[in-house]
């Protein structure tokens, strides 16, 4: 299996791009049926979800959708700090809208729970979550995930948007820490 070294750590391919692409295509089929005609506002959680959002939006091909970006940070090194900082906020009117949060990965679930609460607080009619990856064993909060690309074990991963101290986001495949 292909390996990469990022800073002091070695990683090995665990999800090749073809598998990621297929999972996103399957999610998109389901989402398209649910969201057609709803004038959905997609919110991509930066930085991690940028590749997933781009791939998913291209598959969805909705003509009444909009996309915006919320920049958050909670990870330091290979573990979550538990504190979620907002680095760039939203300017869009949320009241009365169907909003779909696009996240790279749901780990403890704290980040996504915070975003859901923020959007509900701003008066969204409906808030859904689409996550490319989900680590069920790491989940610590009670949340509903509407669309999940793939469930993965509780290991630290990088690639396809996910980083280890800022490196690895650009990689096309997903790698697991050895």
Q: Which residues are catalytic?
A: 107
Nearer to ligand IMP by Cβ, of 49 and 62: the residue is 49
Residue selected from 17, 38, 74, 146 as contacting ligand IMP according to rule CB under 6 A: 74
Binding mask 35-64 for ligand IMP (x = CB under 6 A): ----------x--x----------------
Does 48 bind Mg ion (CB under 5 A)? Our answer is yes
Q: Name residues contacting ligand IMP, limited to 103-132 (CB under 6 A).
A: 103-111
In contact, 147 and 101? CB cutoff 8 Å:
no
User: Burial level of 26, CB count in 10 A (0-12/13-18/19+)?
Assistant: middle
Structure tokens at 84: 């979620």
Residues 6+ away with beta carbon under 8 Å from 139: 106, 107, 108, 109
Structure tokens at 94: 């949320």
Give me the residues that bind Mg ion (CB under 5 A), please.
48, 104
Give me the residues that bind ligand IMP (CB under 6 A), please.
45, 48, 74-75, 80, 103-111, 156-158, 162
């Amino acid at each position: 299996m292909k390996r990469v070294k990022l800073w002091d750590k070695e990683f090995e391919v665990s999800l090749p791009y073809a598998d990621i692409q297929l999972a996103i295509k399957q999610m998109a089929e389901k989402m398209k049926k649910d969201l057609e005609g709803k004038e959905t506002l997609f919110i991509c959680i930066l930085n991690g979800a940028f590749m997933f959002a781009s791939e998913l939006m291209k598959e969805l091909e909705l003509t009444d959708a909009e996309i915006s970006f919320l920049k958050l940070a909670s990870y330091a090194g290979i573990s979550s700090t538990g504190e979620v900082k907002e680095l760039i906020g939203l300017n869009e009117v949320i009241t009365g809208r169907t909003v779909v949060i696009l996240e790279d990965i749901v780990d403890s679930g704290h980040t996504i729970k915070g975003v859901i609460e923020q959007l509900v607080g701003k008066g969204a009619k409906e808030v859904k979550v689409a996550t490319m990856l989900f680590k069920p064993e790491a989940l610590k909060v009670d949340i509903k995930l509407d669309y999940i690309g793939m469930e993965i074990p509780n290991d630290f991963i990088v690639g396809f948007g996910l980083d280890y101290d800022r490196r690895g986001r650009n990689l096309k495949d997903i790698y697991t820490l050895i």
